Chain A
Amino acid sequence: DIQMTQSPSSVSASVGDRVTITCRATQGITNWLAWYQQKPGKVPKLLIYAASSLQSGVPSRFSGSGSGTDFTLTINSLQPEDFATYYCQQADSFPLTFGGGTKVEIK
């Protein structure tokens, strides 16, 4: 099974900051990676797919990069509505697996 490790598990940031979250796979997954945002009590929302493609309707301050085993989600100019938990997910092979999540908190 492919394990997905996210870091950090939580980050405190201020409005306007740039936040970077990393996700590492235990084996190469080319670009079969997605990022989701989940706010408390809400459904996960797809942000980025195929490692770097922005889902329709998602603000351009979100970006993804990486391939193989190392991936990054960057949020430029953090906005109040961006405080949430972020998950990566690999779709290279079954079982599909998610990272443990990164909580972005208000500093």
Chain B
Amino acid sequence: EVQVLESGGGLVQPGGSLRLSCAASGFTFSSYAMSWVRQAPGKGLEWVSAISGSGSTYYADSVKGRFTISRDNSKNTLSLLMNSLRAEDTALYYCAKDSSGMGNYFTWFDYWGQGALVTVSS
């Protein structure tokens, strides 16, 4: 059974840092691109960042230069390091598995974690 489970959310002050992690199981992790998608309270879905199976990375303009996505294929884990956090980064952050089994393809998301809540506030 495919599972993705986020951890690391919490309350952080503006300008602070936080690292989210996602533990994956039930599929060949290295064969799939992975993404982070966020949802601010009461708002829609916003793609944040993606990483291919081999480690190529992509970012939304809103987080470029502040967030860093990475993966450890030996540990089946995905991470998102968030620096210089702003109030507008407050959201539920989902770890999402790409549906394509071709690790360097980015398509749509067939499995989502339950989300990690990040609150940026003083």
Binding site for B on A (CB under 8 A): 1, 32, 34, 36, 38, 43-44, 46, 49, 55, 87, 89, 91, 94-101
**Pairwise interchain contact B108-A34, C-beta atoms closer than 8 A:** yes
Chain B interface helix/strand/loop/mixed:
strand
**Pairwise interchain contact B112-A44, C-beta atoms closer than 8 A:** yes
Interface size range on B against A: 20 to 34
- Chain B residues, Cβ within 8 Å of A101: 44-45
A94 to chain B, nearest CB (A): 5
**Pairwise interchain contact A89-B108, C-beta atoms closer than 8 A:** yes
CB nearest to B47 among chain A residues? A96
Of A43, A87, A95, which one neighbours B61 at CB under 8 angstroms?
A95
Question: Whole-angstrom distance between the alpha carbons of A51 and B50 in the complex?
Answer: 21
Of A34, A46, A94, A97, which one neighbours B58 at CB under 8 angstroms?
A94
Binding site for A on B (CB under 8 A): 35, 37, 44-47, 50, 58-61, 94, 99, 106-110, 112-115
Question: Whole-angstrom distance between the alpha carbons of A98 and B112 in the complex?
Answer: 15
Question: Whole-angstrom distance between the alpha carbons of A32 and B109 in the complex?
Answer: 12
A17 to chain B, nearest CB (A): 24
**Pairwise interchain contact B99-A44, C-beta atoms closer than 8 A:** no
Of A38, A43, A96, A98, which one neighbours B106 at CB under 8 angstroms?
A96
